[in-house]
Amino acid sequence: MARIALISDNPGDLTKSRSYIIKAFLDRGDEVYALSCDYTEEQMDQLRDLGAKPVAYSLQRSGLNPLHDIKSIYGLIKILKKLNPDITFSYGNKPVIYGLIASRMIKVPKRYSLVTGLGVIYSEIGYNTKRNKLTRILMNTLYRVSLRHGDKIFFQNPDDIELFERKKLLKKGQALLVNGTGVDLNIYNTVADQKDPITFTMATRLLKSKGVYEYIEAARRIRSKFKDQDIRFNLLGRPHESNPDTVPRIQLEEWQKEGIIVWPGSVSNVKDWLEKSSVFVFPSLYREGTPRCVLEAMAMSLPIVTTDMPGCRETVKIGVNGFLVKPQDVDSLTEAMEQFILDPKLISEMGKESRRISVEKYDIHKVNNYMLSVIK
C-alpha cells in the first residue's frame, strides 16, 4: 500500500474522468489524497464518497505570475510535507511543473507526471504571436527544470514527446506514451447512426482555438449549398468569459438566431446528443493531448472530422473512421463534411471503425492499468 498525492488544477476532472484512476489506486490498497484548487463542497463530497481525501491548495490556473506561482510552490511544499506521500502523480501544465519541483524539494520517493496537451501557447498555427513565442521560451525553461525531477513522464501523443525530446526537456528514457485519458466503453456504448436528418455535432470548450469559427463557416456554406436537404449542426459547450480566446456569448446567440446551429449551451447529457448525431466535428487549432470529446464520439460509433494537429491526428485513420483536415482551413473542413452528405453510407461504415478503434486503444481501464503498472 502506498500513499499517493494526486496533484491537479481541475476538481471537476478529478470527480469525472480521473475518478477511474483514483478508484483503481484505491482498489489496489493505496491511500489517495486528491489535491486541487477551486473545489466546491459537492466535489469534495464526491471524492470522499469515492474513498479519496480531497485537499485544497492555491493555484492561479492561467497566466504566469512569478510571485503567485512561487507562493503556490511553497503552498504545495507545506501540504506535501504534512501528507508525507510515497508517490506524487501530477497532471496539467502547472501541476506538473510545480508539483515536481515541490515533490523534489521534500524528497518524495517516487514522482510521476502526465502531460495532457500543450495548449494554445505551443500552437504555431494561428497563435504564433510574439507573446506566445516568449511564453514558450519561459515554459520550456520551467519544463526543463521540473521534468528532470520526475521518474517517468506520461504523454498522450507522440508529437509532444518528439517536441520535448528535441528541446531536451526530458532525460533519456523518461517519456512514456499512453492512449489519452480513455473512455468508459460501458457508458459510451450506444451506436449512433443517424442518417436522416444528417446531423453534425461539435462539443468543446467554446474557444476560438478549438475551431468554432471554422465549424460555423463550414456549416453556413453547407446550408447554402444543400438548401433542399434538412442538415443540422449542433454546437455544445459554454463560453469562458474570463478567457480572452473565448467565443462571445452574443456571437453564439446570433448564430443560433440565424439558424446556422443549435446551441443548447453546456449540457450534462452529452451522450444523448451524440446518440442523435451522424458525424462528430472537431477542427481544433489547439495542441491537444488526445481530445476526450473525440474519444467519447468514437465510442458512440461516430465518424470523426478533425484537424491534422498533435493529439487530434492520433484519433483518425484517414478514410477508415473519418478525415483529417488542414487546421484553420474552411475549404478543407467543408469538403470533408460534405463527403457524408454525398455518400451517407460512410456514416455507418466509418462509425463502426471508430468504435473498433475505441475498444482496441481507448478503453479507460486499459489506459489506467498501463499507468498503474508503472506508478508503484
**Mean pLDDT score of the chain, rounded to an integer?**
94
Q: Do 32 and 95 have their domain in common?
A: yes
- Tell me which H or E stretch contains 20: helix 19-27
Q: Do 172 and 205 have their domain in common?
A: no
Cβ-based neighbour number of residue 195 at 10 Å = 13
Q: Do 135 and 225 have their domain in common?
A: no
Instruction: Detail the DSSP E strand segments found in 185-278.
Output: 199-203, 232-236, 262-265
Q: How far is CA 283 from CA 61, 306, 312, in A?
A: 25, 5, 9
Summarised one tens digit per residue, pLDDT across range 265-318 is 889 899 999 999 999 999 999 999 999 999 999 999 999 999 999 999 999 999
Residues 6+ apart with CB under 8 A from 254: none
Q: What is the per-residue pLDDT for 62?
A: 62
pTM, entire model: 0.94
Q: Which of 149, 188, 184 shows the shortest CA–CA distance to 170?
A: 149
Residues 6+ apart with CB under 8 A from 149: 100, 101, 103, 104, 111
For residues 8 and 95, is the Cβ–Cβ distance under 8 A? yes
With bands split at pLDDT 50, 70 and 90, how would you rate the model's confidence at 58?
confident
Q: What is the per-residue pLDDT for 143?
A: 96
Q: Do 70 and 29 have their domain in common?
A: yes
3-state secondary structure of 173: coil
Q: How far is CA 336 from CA 77, 153, 319, 324, in A?
A: 50, 35, 10, 8
With bands split at pLDDT 50, 70 and 90, how would you rate the model's confidence at 43?
very high
Q: Do 226 and 343 have their domain in common?
A: yes
Mean pLDDT of 145-160: 96
User: Residue 260 is part of a domain; what is its CATH number?
Assistant: 3.40.50.2000
Mean pLDDT of 204-232: 96
Q: What is the per-residue pLDDT for 176?
A: 98
Question: Is 60 or 89 the better-scoring residue by pLDDT?
Answer: 89
**Looking at the predicted structure, is the pLDDT value of residue 47 above 80?**
yes
For residue 188, being part of any structural domain is answered with no
Q: What is the per-residue pLDDT for 220?
A: 97
Q: Which of 175, 210, 187, 234 shows the shortest CA–CA distance to 291?
A: 210
Q: Do 355 and 266 have their domain in common?
A: yes
**Looking at the predicted structure, is the pLDDT value of residue 168 above 90?**
yes
With bands split at pLDDT 50, 70 and 90, how would you rate the model's confidence at 64?
low
For residue 370, being part of any structural domain is answered with no
3-state secondary structure of 257: helix
Q: What is the per-residue pLDDT for 87?
A: 98
Q: What is the per-residue pLDDT for 192?
A: 72
Q: Which of 252, 246, 296, 249 shows the shortest CA–CA distance to 270?
A: 296
**Domain range holding 351?**
199-361
Q: What is the per-residue pLDDT for 305?
A: 98
